Each structure stands twice: as C-alpha cells, then as structure tokens.
C-alpha cells in the first residue's frame, strides 16, 4: 500500500514541539514533506493534509466516508458526551439542524445591536493614555454576547458568577505550559484542590451547578417567550416527541458558551493588533468608516468590503483553530495517488493551507487587499473548517468581529505599546496572541 512520507520524530519531542512551537513545527514538516504527510508510527496513520483538492475530497465526503466527533478525549471531558462537538452521525445532524436557526437570518441580525451596545459599554471603561490588556477587553465583550445569545439575559448575580467562573476555567489553559495538561492524560488526575486538575474539576462542578439551576428554572417558566438558544432547545422535540434531557441541554449550552467566545476573542485581539501594526490598514479602514452615514446602520457596516477583507486576512494569517477536527476514514480511499485504509485519521491543516505561496504570495504579510483582488475557494480559505462540521457560529463570529472593531475604532485612537511583532502562542487547543499583549488609547474621538 502506497502511503505519504512519514515523520519519525519521537512522540515526546513531537508533542513538545506541538505544544510550545505549534506553527513552526507544522511549517518545518511542510517544507520537508509537502502537501500530505503522516506523523507518528502507530498502526492507524495520522495524516496532515494541506492540498486544497485533497481537502475538498475529504470535506465533501465527510458524511459518507468518514467518522467525525465521538471519542473520549479531552473535549468530551471538557464539554460532555452530548456536545455538538462530540456527537456523531445522525444525532449530530439532528442537533445541528436544531441549532442552525439560532445562528442565521433574523435571529443573527438581532444580535447586531446587542454586540454594538455591549462593545460600547465595555470599552467605556478604557482610559486615555493608559495601557490595557486587549484580550481581557475582547473576552469580556464576546463572553457577554454569547451569554446573552444562549440564555437571553446577561445580568444578575448568577450571570456574573457564571461569567467569572468561565473566565477562570479557561485561564487554566491560557499559556503553553498550562495547556500541557490537555496532551498528557496522566496529568488529568483529581488529587484535590491543590492540583491543577483538581481545581479545574471543582470550578467545572460550580459551572455545571449554575447551568443546571438555570435549566430547572426555565423549565418551570411554562410560558417563557424568550428567543434565546436555551428556550429553543427546551422546546425542541425528537421524532418520538421526547424533549432533551437536562444533561443534553447542559452539554450543548456549555459548548456554545466556550466555543462561542474564546475563538472570537482571540481573532478580535489579532485584528486590533494587525490594524495598528500596519498603519496603512488603519488609515484605509478609518477612511471607509468616515463615509458611512452618521445614523449608524449596523447592517451597512457589516457589508463594508474593506472591513470584511481585514477580518478575513486576520483569520487567514493566524487562524485560531490551526487544524480542522479530525476525520476518521471508514472505507478504503484513494487520495492524491495514495491508498488509505479504514481507521486512517485526517487533519485538514488550515494554517498550512493559508500559507501556501501558490495561493497567498508573501503569505506572512498582512494584506487585506488579497481578499478584494480574488475569491478563494472554501478549500483554499477555511478558518471555520468545512463539510458537515463547519463552524456553526461562523456568521455570528464574522459579524461580531466587524461590529466590535467598528465600535472601538469609532470611539478611540489606539497605538501598540510595543513595536515588536507579536508571536502566536498556544492557548488550550487553539493558537492566540500572547496574554501579555497591551495597547494604549491615545485619543477619545468625538463620536455619537
Ligand atoms: C472567529 C471565531 C471562530 C473560529 C475561527 C471558529 C472555528 C471553528 C472551526 C475550525 C471548527 C471546526 C470545523 C471543522 O472541523 O470543519 C469549529 C466548529 C464549531 N464551532 Fe466555531 N469558530 C469560531 C466561532 C464560533 C462561535 C461564535 C460559535 C458559537 C456560538 C462556535 C461554535 C462552534 C461549534 C458548536 C462547532 C462544532 C460544529 C460541529 O461539530 O458540527 N464557533 N469552529
């Protein structure tokens, strides 16, 4: 059986590189082995692929030839067996169908004003000539937005507590060293509150408690008319007329809370960085904003081509999710001239595709214009993955990025607190700007 080139680096060294130098190690492999290569020596090959035609074949066949979701890895511990990320097959499709309306059409548009007012309010606390931690501000905004979308309200003691707990929970993995625990299951042992995993589990228990309390209360409010996701899920019935169990509701809610704000906060942090790292981008963006009617119509902002290109380029150059979810082959497959047997694991390498010089010349340069000059296929540009698992929150995330950037840039002028280029670092399973990244407000603008 003909297989692609295989990387024989010892497992521990590979993991070390994956944790501490995730992008460099992928790039080194790409330089040496090209579009498709196998890592590890196990019986079931683990294949990284960055060839758009190959990825197209995988993503268009991922319902029929591949298994996605399932498993018992870290994500299942983190989010539960009934999370959209863990579900597979028909159950996954049913749940996706149920959740999709919450992220499209009218419902999606109703979040626009919410995003605007939350970013306005959160950024009000920024002070002139003071440096601020960009991620903290972005995370505060995205967490409030998702709490409101999921539960319908973002006020009161329970929400405050949930917000604080979610923030501390995620900070367990906020640096490469802290993220190590994800990759070494033997570290995931509960030896009490003085161990990292022990504290992690105790915070998780408190979060679970709050979510179950909320579910219970909502179930009691028989005529609740909310348009939030929790209400949508409580009202949903399967084909036999059964409602979702409390545990199913819990797992879905926590998934959306986590997936829905961490990634968007990182992308927004990058966007603010790039806009100010490249002064010509800031200038151009501001000139596009200035031609807008002063009676702000958020839907016009979302349609601004240059703003769209800035967000696309941000998600291209450092996609926060470096590889799409793994797809496990279920039938024999010939791909790119190689023969693969069932059980082979494929990881579409988003970061590597986004840095192919044949598609993105000078790929390390931040140049939004490339998105105005040509269109890229969904297999050449895929920050949200693709196929049957494509990110369900894609439209929400894109809209949120645009409205938050517009709000912040309309209110203030910023500068970077250091001119050194930022290097991406691991943050849990994602890649993000370093936690220490700060900016300074230099001017408050006369803005409505
Ligand atoms: C810039 C922000 C975001 C990025 C870059 C991002 C990226 C991704 C990627 C790469 C995947 C895997 C897709 C695949 O393997 O084909 C994914 C899945 C997912 N994302 Fe996002 N995401 C973002 C924001 C959001 C938001 C706002 C939500 C929800 C409110 C969300 C919820 C999910 C869920 C539930 C899945 C699993 C979908 C499934 O398995 O069917 N994400 N995301």
Residue closest via CA to ligand 1's atom 39 equals 389
Question: Among 391, 405, 431, which is best to mutate for testing ligand 1, by the most ligand atoms less than 8 A from CB?
Answer: 391
Closest ligand 1 atom to residue 325 Cα is 15
Other Cβ atoms within 10 Å of 26 Cβ, number? 21
Report the alpha-carbon distance of residue 291 to residue 280 in Å, rounded. Answer: 17
DSSP run (H or E) holding 367: none
Report the alpha-carbon distance of residue 180 to residue 175 in Å, rounded. Answer: 9
Residue closest via CA to ligand 1's atom 6 equals 384
What is the structure's pLDDT at 294?
A: 67
Q: How far is the CA of 414 from the centre of ligand 1 (A)?
A: 30
What is the structure's pLDDT at 16?
A: 85
Burial of 344 (0-12, 13-18, 19+ CB in 10 A): buried
Q: How far is the CA of 393 from the centre of ligand 1 (A)?
A: 6
Report the alpha-carbon distance of residue 54 to residue 348 in Å, rounded. Answer: 9
Report the alpha-carbon distance of residue 406 to residue 412 in Å, rounded. Answer: 10
Q: Are strands 6-7 and 36-39 parallel, antiparallel or unpaired?
A: parallel
Q: How far is the CA of 260 from the centre of ligand 1 (A)?
A: 7
Long-range contacts, stretch 256-260, CB < 8 angstroms, 24+ apart = 256/99, 256/146, 256/149, 256/150, 256/229, 256/393, 257/146, 257/147, 257/150, 257/166, 258/78, 258/79, 258/166, 258/170, 259/85, 259/391, 259/393, 260/142, 260/145, 260/146, 260/149, 260/150, 260/393, 260/396
Report the alpha-carbon distance of residue 330 to residue 159 in Å, rounded. Answer: 43
Q: Are strands 333-335 and 338-340 parallel, antiparallel or unpaired?
A: antiparallel
Half-sphere exposure of 316 (CA within 13 A, CB side): 29
Q: How far is the CA of 321 from the centre of ligand 1 (A)?
A: 9
* pLDDT tens for each residue of the chain, 448 residues long: 788 988 888 888 888 888 888 899 999 999 999 999 998 777 788 999 999 999 999 999 998 999 887 665 777 777 888 899 889 888 899 889 888 888 988 888 889 999 999 999 999 999 999 999 999 999 999 999 999 888 887 678 888 899 999 988 888 777 777 778 777 777 777 787 878 888 888 999 999 999 999 999 888 887 777 778 898 888 888 778 888 899 999 999 999 998 888 999 999 999 999 999 999 999 999 999 987 766 778 888 999 999 999 999 999 999 999 999 999 999 999 999 999 999 999 999 999 999 999 999 999 999 999 999 999 999 999 999 999 999 999 999 999 999 999 999 999 999 999 989 999 999 888 999 999 999 999 999 976 4
Q: Domains of the chain, with CATH numbers?
A: 6-424+438-444 (1.10.630.10)
Q: Which residues line ligand 1 (CB under 6 A)?
A: 84-85, 96, 146, 255-256, 259-260, 263-264, 267, 320-321, 324-325, 383-387, 389-393, 396-397
391 assigned ligand-binding residue: yes
Max CA distance (Å), the chain: 68
């Amino acid at each position: 059986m003909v297989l692609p080139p295989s990387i024989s680096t010892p497992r521990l060294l590979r993991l070390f590189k994956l944790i501490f130098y995730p992008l460099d190690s992928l790039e080194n492999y790409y330089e040496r082995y090209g579009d498709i290569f196998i890592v590890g020596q196990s019986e079931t090959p683990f294949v990284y692929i960055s060839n758009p035609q190959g990825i197209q074949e995988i993503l268009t066949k991922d319902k029929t030839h591949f298994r996605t979701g399932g498993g018992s890895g870290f994500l299942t511990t983190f989010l539960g067996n009934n999370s959209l990320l863990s579900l597979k097959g028909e159950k996954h499709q049913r749940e996706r169908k149920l959740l999709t309306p919450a992220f499209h059409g009218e419902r999606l548009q109703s979040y626009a004003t919410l995003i605007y007012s939350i970013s306005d309010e959160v950024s009000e606390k920024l002070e002139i000539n003071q440096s601020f931690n960009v991620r903290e501000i972005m995370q505060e905004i995205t967490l409030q937005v998702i709490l409101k979308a999921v539960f319908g309200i973002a006020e009161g003691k329970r929400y405050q507590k949930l917000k604080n707990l979610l923030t501390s929970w995620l900070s367990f993995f906020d640096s490469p060293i802290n993220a190590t625990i994800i990759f070494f299951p033997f570290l995931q042992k509960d030896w009490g509150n003085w161990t990292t995993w022990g504290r992690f589990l105790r915070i998780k228990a408190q979060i679970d408690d709050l979510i179950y309390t909320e579910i219970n209360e909502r179930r009691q409010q028989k005529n609740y008319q909310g348009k939030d996701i929790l209400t949508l899920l409580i009202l949903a019935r399967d084909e036999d007329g059964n409602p979702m169990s409390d545990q199913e509701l819990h797992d879905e809610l926590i998934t959306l809370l986590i997936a829905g704000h961490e990634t968007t906060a990182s992308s927004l942090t990058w966007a603010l960085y790039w806009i100010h790292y490249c002064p010509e981008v800031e200038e151009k963006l501001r000139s596009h904003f200035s031609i807008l009617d002063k009676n702000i119509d958020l839907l016009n902002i979302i349609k601004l081509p240059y703003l769209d290109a800035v967000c696309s380029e941000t998600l291209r150059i450092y996609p926060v999710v470096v590889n799409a979810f793994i797809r496990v082959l279920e039938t024999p497959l010939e791909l790119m001239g190689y023969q693969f047997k069932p059980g082979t694991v494929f990881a579409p390498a988003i970061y590597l595709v986004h840095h192919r010089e044949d598609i993105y010349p000078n790929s390390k340069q931040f140049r939004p214009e490339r998105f105005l000059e040509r269109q890229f296929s969904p297999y050449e540009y895929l920050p949200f993955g693709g196929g049957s698992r494509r990110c369900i929150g894609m439209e929400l995330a894109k809209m949120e990025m645009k409205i938050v950037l517009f709000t912040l840039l309309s209110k203030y002028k910023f500068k970077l607190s250091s001119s050194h280029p930022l290097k991406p670092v691991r943050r849990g399973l994602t890649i993000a700007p370093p936690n220490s990244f700060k900016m300074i407000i230099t001017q408050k603008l006369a803005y409505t």
